[in-house]
């Protein structure tokens, strides 16, 4: 991401200004990163303690959850 951001800045396509974000926006960015990291650690721990066949159906719930989150956050629903 740093290389991509630098490339976009050098080419003039984007000029990132981190100071333009509010404190609450930075808190949301940090919180989502921490939540994602914690969820991946918990998934890894689950696979250490249980068989993959038992946990596989739970992974399909991620598809449903991502679809629901996309609909709720972005108000879009697309099939196909």
pLDDT for residue 80: 60
User: Considering only CA atoms, which of 27, 39, 14, 72 is closest in space to residue 1?
Assistant: 14
Residue 4 lies in a domain: no
Q: Would residue 30 count as lying in a domain?
A: yes
Into how many domains does the chain fold? 1
Residue 15: inside a domain, yes or no? no
Any domain includes 13:
no
> pLDDT digit of tens for each residue in the chain (80 aa)?
788 878 888 888 877 676 777 888 889 889 999 999 998 899 899 999 999 889 888 888 888 888 888 888 887 776 66
Give Dmax over CA atoms of the chain in angstroms: 50
Owning domain of residue 55? 22-80
């Amino acid at each position: 991401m740093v290389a991509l951001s630098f490339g976009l800045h050098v080419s003039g396509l984007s000029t990132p200004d981190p100071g333009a974000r509010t404190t609450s926006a930075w808190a949301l960015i940090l919180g989502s990163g921490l939540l994602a990291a914690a969820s991946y650690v918990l998934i890894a721990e689950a696979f250490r303690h249980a068989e993959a066949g038992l946990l596989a159906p739970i992974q399909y719930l991620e598809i449903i959850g991502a679809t629901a989150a996309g609909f709720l956050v972005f108000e879009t629903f697309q099939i196909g």
